[in-house]
Every structure is written in structure tokens, then in C-alpha cells.
Amino acid sequence: MLLAVDVGNTQTVLGVYEGERLVEHWRLATERTRTGDELGVLLGGMLDFESVDGICLSSTVPTLIREWVRLAERWAQAPVLVVGPGVKTGIPIRYDDPREVGPDRIVNSVAAKARYGAPVIVVDFGTSTNFDVVSPAGEYVGGVLAPGIETSMEALFARAARLVKVDYVEPPSVIGKTTVGGLQSGVVYGFAGQVDGIVTAIRGELGVEARVIATGGLAELVAPHSSTIESVDPFLTLDGLRLVWEANA
């Protein structure tokens, strides 16, 4: 089995594949100080390391890469592929400096191209809201980076003494009748409007009506209120890791 691991700044998503089938998945908090042994103990209660034939890793936290490699060597005793420069992805990268592109953005684009065709735009709701663009020619041509939902709201709460933290849920109405309702409306409709505005601008620059696929932890909250998002694919990144692993097998 393949263990696909996407280490983000806030959360780590893991999935176990048997061939093309995702058989199990988990979402954990990313702890930057965790060691390989701590990861081994944690994952040992979730999966059987003896059944793991390989690990494909994408990490936006450089300090954790060596700890995951340590886990692969000591606990899983399986080969590990770290997505980065020099790794085959199957997608041409038309970026001024390809080394600057986050590995999660690349694997998202690989999966979106394979599953939905080109052109396609991926909107990933994470610590930042990433827009990644695959051109009609099937090339990764860049994208847009915007503050993420939780990042934006935490900054707002830190600077506004009278505002309180709220649950990220759909508000009962656009016009908030309470402070909580107003904040929730701002999250849902504000970020949906941001997505639609950026997607419209990207489509105008591409000159085509590219499909829009959303992924990430809060995608299902925003997507129903966006006029441009066509579908939500919660496991897009994991599937991209599987495809990259197969391309380098």
C-alpha cells in the first residue's frame, strides 16, 4: 500500500491507497516540533506499517521533511518520495522559478489535470487560499495566493477587541442579525465573492472558461455560495501524490 502524506502549515492529511483506491484517510494538526519517532508512535495506532510499501510526501514545512523521512526509514522501512525539484510530475511547469512553487500546488494541478482535464483552476482553502492554473495546453502556468479563511479571521480577532471567535458554519442569512451571524456571513459570502472575482480574472487572461475545482478543509463551506466553483474534491491532493508516486515508480 502507498501512504500519501500532505503536510500543510496548519493540518496534515494522510491517505492509504491500494492501487487507485483510497481505502483510509486522516486529518491531523501539524505540529512543527514533532520528531520522526513521535510520528511513528502516532501513526502506529492508525495503520500497519508492515503493509506500507512506500510513502509519497508533500510538505510546506521544511523542518518536518527529515522527520517524515526518519519515520519512513525506521518505522515503515519503506522508500519515501519527497515531492520537489527533480521529481517527475508529468506536468510542464511554466513558472519563472519552479523551485518557488509549493509541492502541494503542483500535486493539486497534476490531479486536477488527470481527473478533470485542461484547462482547470484549483482553489485550495488552506492556511492561504491558493488558486492554481493549468492552461489549455496542460501546463502549470502559475496562480494566485490570498490569505486563508482562518488566517484572515485570526488577524481580525487579534485587532478587534469586541469581536469574538466564531464557528465556521453557514449563517442563517446574508444580513447578520448578531455579531456572530455577521462574522459568519462575512466568511462565507466574502470568500465566495473573492473566489468568483479571481476566477473571472483568471479566465479572462486565459481566454477560456476553465473548470474550477475546490479542495481543502473549508471548501465545502464556501463552494455552495460561489457561482464559479463546479465541484469539491476533498482528496485531490492525496490523489495527486499517488499520481506523482506512480510517475516515479
The catalytic residue positions are 104
Q: How far is CA 137 from CA 105, 124, 141, in A?
A: 18, 22, 10
Q: Give the three-state DSSP class for 138.
A: coil
In the block, cell 495546453 appears at: 137
Task: Please give the single-letter amino acid code of residue 231.
Answer: S
Binding site, annotated residues for substrate: 95, 102-105, 179
Binding site, annotated residues for K(+): 124
Q: How far is CA 108 from CA 32, 61, 94, 214, in A?
A: 23, 17, 15, 10
Tell me how far apart the alpha carbons of residues 215 and 30 are, in angstroms, rounded to a whole number.
Answer: 18
Tell me how far apart the alpha carbons of residues 44 and 48 are, in angstroms, rounded to a whole number.
Answer: 7
Binding site, annotated residues: 6-13, 95, 102-105, 124, 127, 179
Binding site, annotated residues for ATP: 6-13, 127
Residue closest to 212 by CA, chosen among 93, 105, 102, 118: 118
Which phi and psi (to 5°) does residue 166 adopt?
A: -125, 160
- Asked if 29 and 12 touch (Cβ cutoff 8 Å), the reply is yes
